[in-house]
Amino acid sequence: MKATYHKYMLEFKRPSGTSRGVMTEKETWFIVLEENGKKGIGECGILRGLSADDRSDYEEKLNWACQNIQLGEKALWEALIEFPSIQFGIEMAFLSLKSENPYLLFPSDFTNNSKSIDINGLVWMGEASFMKEQIEEKLATGFNCIKLKIGAIDFQKELELLAFIRSHFSAKQIEIRVDANGAFSLNEALDKLTQLNKFQLHSIEQPIKKGNIQAMADLCETTPFPIALDEELIGVFSFEEKKELLQKIKPQYIILKPSFIGGFRGTKEWITLAEQYNIGWWITSALESNIGLNAIAQWTFLQNSKMPQGLGTGALYTNNFDCPLEVSQGQLWYNTSKKWDSSFL
């Protein structure tokens, strides 16, 4: 077996804002396996400034993984515990190599185009007029769950945007999730949650910065509406550490990004614990290309979650790969009449 890796820069169609800043491009890496005339591909979806494995030795570790590919998927996964995006890329590449079709990893009613996945529509931060434009576009195209990035523009303007949505659509018609990406300070968080509560929101992701365990636990206990942990899960590697975090904070939900938490195996550990502690969960992309998004979507369908997932990110880039994934009426479909752009294979 031979393994190689390749860097690829994804270019955003328009600058995309979060409370951590504005993104115009996104780096990703692909691992390609070759054996007996077959090829498999996996994506290492790192997000600089956020991923636990955003380290100076990242490429060195990728190279090591390719040089030691003969160790096999399980041994490599265990050796790469501090490099969750590479764990995921390796896991995906081995699945791809073993499959008859390198992009069909988990055959199901989703991949035969008979069933779809509910997803939320993502609204990026920006000027209030730009956010309003995005909201109207999402509502017009059939989404009944939208997720707004908040925390970067004036909070009063964000409240006005939420008031705009609720003046036209009730909580039964449109589910609203908000994501603060840790933007609220510890002393203002509860007050802001109280102000947000009047808009009948489904949940808020990561209201305060990760690492404030006791403050987050207190918030989860006193919050007027549900809190979902996101960044808080990054860099929590062992099963025991995961268990301890959930026991301490007791969140209402957790958000699972396979590229950030050790691929499918790491994600399954979080799901097992969440269900043990009666914590809700859903799965989202970490802005991977369509190659990684495809693998995550196929696996997510098999988890039988009834909640909208965060998997509508395939159209963000100008240079993504053509694939069967298609968003229609707030659903992600696998359109079998569409072909893959196999540039890397």
pLDDT tens track for 210-263 = 999 999 999 999 999 999 999 999 999 999 999 999 999 999 999 999 999 999
Percent of the chain residues past pLDDT 90, beyond the cut: 83
pLDDT exceeds cutoff 80 at 316: yes
Q: What is the pLDDT of residue 145?
A: 95
The rounded distance, in Å, linking the Cα atoms of 80 and 67 is 13
Q: What pLDDT, on the 0 to 100 scale, is given for residue 23?
A: 84
Token pair in block for residue 314: 């395939």
pLDDT at 18: 67
What percentage of residues in the chain have a pLDDT greater than 70? 99
Q: Which range has the worst mean pLDDT, 57-66, 163-172, 186-195, 220-229?
A: 163-172
The better pLDDT of the pair 124, 231 is held by 231
Sequence-separated (6 or more) residues with CB below 8 Å from residue 210: 182, 231, 232, 234
* Residues contacting residue 257 through CB under 8 Å, at least 6 positions apart: 230, 283, 284, 285, 286
Choose among 245, 192, 254, 183: nearest CA to 223: 192
User: What pLDDT score does 122 carry?
Assistant: 87
Q: Which two tokens stand for residue 309?
A: 């997932």
Provide mean pLDDT across the span 116-139. Answer: 86
pLDDT score of 127 more than 90? no
pLDDT attached to residue 184: 95
Which residues of the chain form CATH 3.30.390.10? 2-98
CATH 3.90.1580.10 fits 117-334, yes or no: no
Q: Please report which confidence band the pLDDT of residue 345 belongs to, taking 50, 70 and 90 as the band edges.
A: confident
Catalytic residue ranges: 149, 257
Please check the confidence at residue 139 and state whether its pLDDT lies above 70.
yes
Strands lying side by side in the sheet with 117-118: 117-118, 331-334, 325-328
Does the pLDDT at position 20 exceed 80? Answer: no
Q: Cβ(131)–Cβ(147) under 8 Å?
A: no
Q: Among 3.30.390.10, 2.60.40.650, 3.90.1200.10, 3.30.70.100, name the CATH number for the domain at 2-98.
A: 3.30.390.10
Locate CATH 3.20.20.120 in the chain: 117-334
pTM of the model: 0.95
pLDDT band at 153 (very low <50, low <70, confident <90, very high): confident
CB contact set of 170 (below 8 Å; sequence gap of 6+): 200
Neighbour tally for 294: CB within 10 Å: 26
pLDDT at 270: 98
How confident is the model at residue 129, as a pLDDT?
83
Q: Write the CA distances from 48 to 202, 221, 229, integer angstroms.
A: 29, 32, 19
